[in-house]
A and B are shown apart, each in its own frame.
Chain A
Amino acid sequence: QKEVEQNSGPLSVPEGAIASLNCTYSDRGSQSFFWYRQYSGKSPELIMFIYSNGDKEDGRFTAQLNKASQYVSLLIRDSQPSDSATYLCAVNLLNDYKLSFGAGTTVTVRA
């Protein structure tokens, strides 16, 4: 079983819509959860992190964490063409700063 799983996509949404990305993880001891955005040919850049159950909002992005279900999601509201990228979910598994990444979900926002 993979440690971190994401829907591979691609996910296509119209401009202005909400994009919903899902991530599940296998280790119940996971502490912190990160969402990175990676444009084609570029390196990952941090969008936000979350470590408490519930929602965390930052601008147009909302991360949702449900530790009981071992599930973390990212919502992108009012999607823009500039949001077209691959979104990587990463999980801190051992509380030693090591991150395990999912394979990413590719999002395309149609103008």
Chain B
Amino acid sequence: EAGVAQSPRYKIIEKRQSVAFWCNPISGHATLYWYQQILGQGPKLLIQFQNNGVVDDSQLPKDRFSAERLKGVDSTLKIQPAKLEDSAVYLCASSLGVYDRGAGETQYFGPGTRLLVL
């Protein structure tokens, strides 16, 4: 079974530029998550999709971040304009999205995109 795919793996941009990240979840996984992980910290949830609907985007800085999941499969996360503090690893994860204590909620992570904003 293929895992979660993300691209690009690395990105270096200057502040005020825009950037986009792509994620393809595990086949059949209804729930997709985008996390931001700053060095030395745990992943912080930015947005959660169930199929193509947003479940939780309470921690997404909506003035500069946007995300979509068209057709309930692939997703893109965009930052525009980027700030220095956006330098982090952006992780995409997916889960089955059905309630099954532990198993259904288990999230599987992609390799991440390392973003450096100069």
Contacts and interface: CB of A to CB of B under 8 A. Distances in A.
Interface in B72-117: 91, 95, 97, 99, 101-112
Contacts of A90: 42
A92 interface: yes
A49 B100 CA distance: 12
Contacts of B112: 43
A51 B45 contact: no
B8 interface: no
A98 B48 contact: yes
A18 B107 CA distance: 27
B48 A97 contact: yes
Given A4-B42, A101-B43, A101-B44, 12 more contacts: A32-B101, A32-B105, A34-B106, A42-B111, A49-B103, A49-B105, A51-B101, A97-B31, A99-B107, A100-B45, A103-B41, A104-B41
Interface of A: 4, 31-32, 34, 42-46, 49-51, 88, 90, 92, 95-104
B56 interface: yes
Contacts, number: 60
Contacts of B91: 43-44
Interface of B: 31, 40-45, 48, 55-56, 91, 95, 97, 99, 101-112
A97 B109 contact: no
A33 to B, nearest CB: 8
Contacts of B101: 31-32, 51
Contacts of A100: 45
Nearest to B44: A101
Contacts of A45: 109
10 contacts: A4-B42, A31-B101, A34-B106, A44-B43, A49-B103, A88-B42, A95-B99, A96-B55, A97-B95, A101-B43
B110 A43 contact: yes
Q: 8 closest pairs, A vs B, by CB?
A: A101-B42, A49-B102, A43-B109, A103-B42, A51-B101, A43-B112, A97-B105, A32-B102
